[in-house]
Structure 1
Amino acid sequence: MAKEIERKFLVSGDEWKDLAEAGTRLTQAYIMGGPDRSLRVRIFNDQSARLTIKIGTAAMTRDEYEYDIPIDDAREMAEHATGVIIDKTRYRLPDGDFVWEIDVFHGAHAGLIVAEVELPDEDTQPAFPEWLGREVTGDNRYLNHTLSTTGGVPEETE
């Protein structure tokens, strides 16, 4: 079974920008969702696509299944999105044994910048860069599925 174990933080500085790889524009539409599961389609730079199923309610660990799908199918599925389609640019920043992914949101979520790091297990403690802000792991307001249903930036980041 595939597991996603990650920690999520708000970003409070710009120092990451000089260290990050080129960004990838992501269009992300949620097709179905509930309190413990979601089904989304994600389009990468308008060239490729992936379908993702996430199941679970734990703060750091969830079951995750991903499948590449034809871009035309993804565009059609996105037309059936529940809520707001998320538009963001994802930057990758390798840091030792870890890779930080920094999401800069656009559109309805403009102003929100979130960093995530995937971990091999919940006990792993990566070094935390100085540009990280408050940890929001387990804060449902910062789940992309929640952002798609609320249509805006959580209050404290505005």
Structure 2
Amino acid sequence: MQEIERKYLVTSMDFVREATEVIPIDQGYLHAQPPTVRVRLWGEQGFITIKGGSDPSGLAREEYEYEIPLADACSLLELCGSHRLSKVRHLVPYRGHTWEVDIFTGRHEGLVLAEIELSSIGEQYDLPPWVGEEVTGDPRYYNAMLARKQ
């Protein structure tokens, strides 16, 4: 399966009142270089995800995600050591798309990123007023890199 997404810095917290769902996320990386292997607690569910390297544009990559038992996800997160991060995801509908806006906590407090998943690289979409600079393809904003930063 291919994931196509664009990522932006967020300029205001106006999106919070528009969110239809808010989910706490704790995630860690068993392998942080492509292919990355991520373990995630999404609320009360566990997932393991394998992602290939990004294409040259930084927009697309292979992604395989599977739900796993919550107890297994918790145990695997412990194996990630310090390669973890926490955030609160807000699902925000805007003009026919659902934006995923992450407010990072812990050592990345203050970082807020918005992502939009697309069905094709050329798909058109509107930017919400609270979206700023695009950081798609900038490795500084990859979750795997953020999880390794101390």
Corresponding residue number in structure 2 for 1:41? 39
Cα deviations by residue, 1:26-64 (Å, 9 ceiling, x for unpaired): 000111121x3200110022x211100000222000100
Question: How far apart are 1:85 and its partner, in Å?
Answer: 1.4
Which letter does structure 2 place at the counterpart of 1:44? W
Q: Which runs of 5+ in 1 are unaligned?
A: 152-158
The residue aligned with 1:81 is 80
Question: Where do 4+ consecutive residues of structure 1 move more than 6 Å?
Answer: none
The separation in 2 between residues aligned to 1:14 and 1:90, in whole angstroms, is 13
Alignment: residue pair count: 148
Aligned-pair RMSD on alpha carbons?
A: 1.1
Q: Secondary structure at the match of 2:19?
A: coil
Amino acid at match of 2:47: R
- Normalising by structure 1, report the TM-score: 0.90
Could you report, residue by residue, the CA deviation over 1:97-141 in whole angstroms, capped at 9, with x for unpaired residues? 211000000001100000000001111121001110110000000
Aligned to 1:145: 144
Q: Which runs of 5+ in 2 are unaligned?
A: none
Distance 1:12 1:100 in 2: 14
Is the aligned partner of 1:57 residue 2:54?
yes
Deviation at 1:82, TM superposition (A): 4.9
What is the match of residue 28 of structure 1? 27
Amino acid in structure 2 at the alignment position of 1:76: S
C-alpha distance in 2 between matches for 1:94 and 1:3:
22
Evaluate the alpha carbon distance shift between residue 64 and residue 55 of structure 1 in structure 2; reply closer, same or farther with a 3 A threshold: same
C-alpha spacing 1:110/1:117, structure 2 compared with 1 (3 Å): same
Quick one: percent identity of the two aligned structures? 37
CA distance in 1, matches of 2:35, 2:73: 19
What is the CA distance between 1:22 and its match in structure 2? 3.1
1:103 is matched with 102
Displacement of 1:4? 0.5
Q: Which amino acid aligns with 2:72?
A: D
